[in-house]
Chains A and B, each alone.
Chain A
C-alpha cells in the first residue's frame, strides 16, 4: 500500500537529482519553480514518478499541484481512484 510519504520520497529523490541536491534538502511545501525546476526538468520528474508508481500522469498536474506535497497528495488520490487495474507496479 503506497502512502503519501512513499510518494513524497520518490518525488524528493528525483527532484534532488534534477537540482543537484539531496532529498532531505527538498522542501515539500516549496513550489517546483522555487525549487529550481522548469517545464523541461518537469518531464523528467514526471516520467520517473510514472515509472515508479505505474501511473499515467497528466503533464499539466505538475502546474495544477505546484509543490511536492500537493502533487503527492493528488497522485495518491489518483492511485486510489485507479486501484483495481491489475498492472500496478510494486514500489
Chain B
C-alpha cells in the first residue's frame, strides 16, 4: 500500500514536524508497515525494514558519501555566489565514513593501525572522576552540558594528545560540525559548519605542525609517524581531516548515548535500582539503549546499480536513506520491539551500522557509556528527573536531547 497523497501534510515522511522531532517512532512504524521502501517527496528512498537495511549496508554497490557529494556540489554552487564555504569540503575530505573503494580502504586501514586496542579505561576513569568532582556539591545538574558532552571530548583529546585546555571551545565547534551529516540543512547551517570547519582546520594544522617537531605518545603523533614509516603518502590536509573526523565523530554520539542511557533508567525507577544493585547488567543496558533509543537514526547511501527491493526497483544514482532506528524496532527481528528490555538476547541492533563502514569507534562509545553510567549510579544515589520530556535538537541523522536536568539529594541533606 502506498501513501495516497503525493504532497502536503499527508506524506508518510514528515521528519521535521514538532511531533516527529520529539518522537519519530510512530512515523517509522507507519513507513515500515505501509511502504517500507518509500519514495519520499524529496526524491530519496526511505528504508525502514531491518532486513532491507542490513542488506544495503553490506552491499558494496550502495556507496557511502551522499552527504559529502551533496556538500561538495553545494560548496561549488555557492562559490559562484561569492559564498566561500570551501572549508567544509576541506575539513571533510578524509572523513572515512563518506569514502568508498580504494580510498576508503586506504584511510580506514591507516587509522585502524593506530586506533584499535588502545588502553583507554584509565583515561576515561580519570575524566569521569574529574567531571564528578567538579559537580560535587551541586544539587541540580544538566547531565548533557555538564557531563555527557564534555566527557567524550576530554577523552578523545587525551587519546589524540591535544591540550585539554582547548577543549571548551572545541566542544561547541564539534556540535556545529555534526550538522553536516544531517539530511536537510539551510544556508545558515552551512555557514555555521564552514566557520567550525575553518577553526578545526586551523587548530589541527597547528597541532600537527607541533607534533612534527615534538612527537609524543598520542594518537596524532602516531598517525604522523605511521604515515612516514610506512610511506602511506597522506598529505597534511588528509591528516587534518582524519583528526577532525576522529575528534568529532565520537562527541555528539557518545554524549547522546550516555544521556539516553541515564534517561531510560530514570523513567524506569525499578529497573534503575535493579541495575544499581547489579552493575554487571550495565553493558546490556547500553546495548538496549542503542537499540531502543538510538543515537544515529539515519545514514545515507547512493545506489550504483539498479536494485530490486521489496515491491520497488531502486534506480542507479538514487539516494537511499536507511532508518537504522526503525530497523531496531522491526518486530520481525525484535519481539516486543517498543519495549525497553534490558535482558534482551540476542540484541543484534544496527546502531553502529554493518558491513565495511561499521563504526570505527563503537568500542570507545560503548566503554565510555558503560563507565559513565556505572559512575553516575554509584556516586549519585537518590537521583531525581526534573524534566521528563526535554527538547531534542533538530538533527534527524544524529538525535540528541538538549538537556537532562536531574537533582540529587546531597549527603548532608540525606
Contact = CB atoms under 8 A, between A and B. Distances in A.
Interface of A: 39-41, 43-44, 46-47, 50, 57-60, 63-66, 70
B186 A39 contact: no
Chain B's interface: helix, strand, loop or mixed, by majority? loop
B268 to A, nearest CB: 33
A40 B77 CA distance: 8
Given A39-B70, A41-B77, A46-B186, A66 B16 contact: no
B112 interface: no
A59 B70 contact: no
A64 B185 CA distance: 15
A43 B187 contact: yes
Given A47-B187, A59-B16, A60-B184, A39 B42 contact: yes
A43 B9 CA distance: 21
A43 B70 CA distance: 12
Nearest to A17: B81
Interface of B: 7-9, 11, 14-16, 40-43, 70, 73-74, 77-78, 81, 184-188, 190
B74 A40 contact: yes
Contacts of A57: 186
B187 A63 contact: no
Contact of A59 (B74, B78, B186): B186
Given A41-B77, A47-B187, A58 B41 contact: no
A43 B190 contact: yes
Contacts of B184: 59-60
A4 B74 CA distance: 30
A17 B81 CA distance: 11
Contacts of A39: 42-43, 70
Given A43-B185, A66-B7, 8 more contacts: A40-B70, A47-B187, A47-B188, A59-B186, A60-B15, A60-B184, A63-B41, A64-B11
A63 B187 CA distance: 17
A65 B7 contact: yes
Given A39-B70, A40-B73, A40-B74, A64 B186 contact: no
A44 B187 contact: yes
A43 B75 CA distance: 12
Most buried by A among B9, B73, B188: B188
B9 A64 contact: yes
Most buried by B among A40, A46, A65: A40
A84 to B, nearest CB: 18
B106 to A, nearest CB: 29
A15 B36 CA distance: 34
Given A39-B42, A39-B70, A63-B42, A70 B15 contact: no
A47 B70 CA distance: 17
Contacts of B73: 40
A44 B8 contact: no
A50 to B, nearest CB: 8
17 contacts: A39-B42, A40-B77, A43-B185, A43-B186, A44-B77, A44-B81, A46-B186, A47-B188, A57-B186, A59-B186, A60-B15, A60-B41, A63-B42, A63-B43, A64-B8, A66-B7, A70-B8
Nearest to B188: A47
A70 B7 contact: yes
Contacts of B190: 43
A70 B81 CA distance: 27
Given A43-B187, A47-B186, A66 B41 contact: yes
A54 B150 CA distance: 35
A63 B305 CA distance: 25
B326 to A, nearest CB: 18
Per CB-CB distance, the 3 closest pairs between chain A and chain B, nearest first, are: A47-B187, A59-B184, A63-B41
Contacts of B42: 39, 60, 63
Given A43-B187, A47-B186, A47-B187, A64 B77 contact: no
A60 B394 CA distance: 12
A63 B8 CA distance: 8
A64 B70 contact: no
A57 B187 CA distance: 11
